[in-house]
Chain A
């Protein structure tokens, strides 16, 4: 039987990988090809790769770099950042990326989600949303890497995206990003209970108990995390790690 997936989420900024806190203070981790190779050797369940400056810089994916990365990764690979057309999608599929993550573009052109699902199957059409909790405890979806308010409720957006053919939804909490204080379990549960498709929780993991919590109490099908897989110790020294199959079995 399967166990829920545990997914390192890596942020691409220019040609390097970084880790942010609340979508700010990007700290340089290293060369993406090297780091992906290490994660590949550690036999991770899946990798999520997000180019966090593509949309703000109004550019598309860095195809050459992604091609080199995909050549090193014999694992399910999801990519997001600047995917705006079916041309982009077809290029990404042909270089070995099988999950296309749409965030800003899913909001601006929801028909792209449908087109991706029709072309490559709904498992390839992944919608990611960045969510912030307001003063009154109300959740709101942000686009453009957390820079732009949309006024949209995450549950409503998720249901809409599922209707458009999204096969998976990533919920990223801006407030929890890089804090290592635990996932926003309430947010994840609200969305996971409203859709049939798998929901991936992201933002806030500080240890494997957090991962277990968001799966058991947040009803997430998978948990993505950054800091715990790239940092070591209180000084946040860069060290790539991933739990062994035995550790994963124990916790999840």
Chain B
């Protein structure tokens, strides 16, 4: 069973709907007992970094999820702000991140040529694979994904970067190291392209 960690943030219905569509069992839950039984976890997230981090702490689920991910090495996929929470911290807020990736979440900084670009980065964009990984297997070169974010992740551990996206700057749009993975975009809202990625997470990742 895949458990979508419900800490009060994010559009969990869509994620569960898409897993159902690809034939994987998934539930959204905030119950520590259910989460402890999970084979895999989804860490969702939308909105402001600090608000999400604080809500996650308030639920008391941070140590529960932390143990599963860091000690039991259960596969986890962070989505959007869920990925950002896995970094050391964000320029958007003061709260410390989980620090699962040697990465920071930073503001978009455009040069003059790209100064006209709007923030948030909202809409469909491509993700260019830079490293092969079971999460991005059977990749459709036409793949595009739905993004909506005002801050983005920069990984210092470059071998954790699986895909990059251009929006004035290079965004590290898919990260993966060991059992820890994340996407800056919303696969649950990205047609068959996002479905492929979630199916890969459900079937290829052990």
Contact = CB atoms under 8 A, between A and B. Distances in A.
Interface of A: 1-5, 40, 43, 45-46, 70-71, 74-77, 93-98, 118-124, 167-168, 196, 198, 221-222, 245
Contacts of A3: 123-124
Contact of A98 (B11, B21, B118, B166): B11
Given A1-B167, A2-B123, A121-B48, A96 B11 contact: yes
Contact of B147 (A2, A94, A122): A2
A74 to B, nearest CB: 6
A123 B190 contact: no
A212 to B, nearest CB: 16
Interface string B3-41: 000000101111001100100000000000000000000
Interface in B108-128: 118, 120-125
B123 A45 contact: yes
A98 B123 contact: no
Nearest to A98: B11
B123 A93 contact: no
Contacts of A76: 146, 148, 186, 189
A40 B194 CA distance: 13
Contacts of B11: 93, 96-98, 120
B13 A74 contact: no
B46 A74 contact: no
Contacts of A5: 122-124
Interface in B166-202: 166-167, 186, 188-192, 194-195
A121 B151 CA distance: 13
B70 interface: no
Q: Which 3 A-B pairs have the closest CB atoms?
A: A121-B47, A96-B13, A96-B14
A74 B195 contact: yes
A162 B142 CA distance: 35
Contacts of B130: none
B122 A198 contact: yes
B51 interface: yes
Nearest to A221: B118
Nearest to B123: A2
Nearest to B28: A94
A230 B163 CA distance: 37
B47 A120 contact: yes
A83 to B, nearest CB: 15
A1 B14 contact: no
16 contacts: A2-B121, A45-B123, A45-B124, A71-B17, A74-B14, A74-B21, A74-B191, A76-B148, A94-B13, A96-B11, A96-B17, A121-B48, A123-B122, A123-B148, A167-B120, A198-B120
A98 B80 CA distance: 13
A118 B190 CA distance: 25
B18 A74 contact: yes
Residue of A46, A95, A121, A196 ringed by the most chain B CB atoms within 10 A: A121
Contacts of A196: 118
B81 to A, nearest CB: 8
Residue of A74, A119, A221, A222 ringed by the most chain B CB atoms within 10 A: A74
A212 B149 CA distance: 25
A117 B13 CA distance: 18
Given A46-B146, A74-B188, 6 more contacts: A2-B121, A3-B124, A75-B146, A96-B17, A97-B13, A222-B123
Nearest to A90: B8
A221 B81 CA distance: 23
A1 B189 contact: no
B80 to A, nearest CB: 9
Given A74-B21, A123-B46, A221 B13 contact: no
B191 A4 contact: no
